[in-house]
Chain A
Amino acid sequence: DAKTTQPNSMESNEEEPVHLPCNHSTISGTDYIHWYRQLPSQGPEYVIHGLTSNVNNRMASLAIAEDRKSSTLILHRATLRDAAVYYCIQSRGVGGTSYGKLTFGQGTILTVHP
């Protein structure tokens, strides 16, 4: 699985939007982009995933560039509970599905200030 590139850390203020970038320049047509986040001493939590179109759910939005070589996870209003390590993962789909083992990099440490 190809590696993605993320900033080591980012900071935000509470109730402000946060844009977490991710580069995946080697992405191919069947590769999905997944985002997970992890609190200390806990398992990662699924945030969102997408293939080509922008995606929205109750937690966040995922904006995928037209050439799919980069994407941005958007937290619309950061809260203190959003402080975590955020992982952007490129995963090759299997059989037209998003099925594929995930390879986690070091992620982005998000700090949220009150």
Chain B
Amino acid sequence: DGGITQSPKYLFRKEGQNVTLSCEQNLNHDAMYWYRQDPGQGLRLIYYSQIVNDFQKGDIAEGYSVSREKKESFPLTVTSAQKNPTAFYLCATFKERDRGGYTFGSGTRLTVV
């Protein structure tokens, strides 16, 4: 079945370290998104990419970086510049012709220790 794979499911990071969250999709969707969710809150957009080799900042891009070298992959790096990185991170894809709307992965829970 087609879908989105986010890995790892749980990630622990020491302060000052960069970590990379993986997002892979086999849905052949053009657009990919990274959202952050804090406890009891809605999702906030970090970065999004509409095509390969192109991406735009979302509402809370500071302290994060992304790349889109392949259509299937949109990794997110949480850098040491992100002051409060502990959160639930969700990757999503979208294809206009797909009437099912946006598809989300199962998320990565990042904890700074």
Contacts and interface: CB of A to CB of B under 8 A. Distances in A.
Interface residues of A, number: 20
B107 interface: yes
B105 A101 contact: no
Interface of A: 34, 36, 41-46, 49, 87, 97-99, 101-107
Interface of B: 31, 33, 35, 40-45, 48, 58-59, 88, 90, 92, 94, 96, 100-107, 109
Given A99-B94, A99-B96, A101-B48, A41 B107 contact: yes
Contacts, number: 50
Contact of B107 (A43, A97, A107): A43
Contacts of B42: 87, 103-107
Contacts of A41: 88, 107, 109
B107 A103 contact: no
A45 B104 contact: yes
B101 A34 contact: yes
A41 B10 CA distance: 11
A49 B101 contact: yes
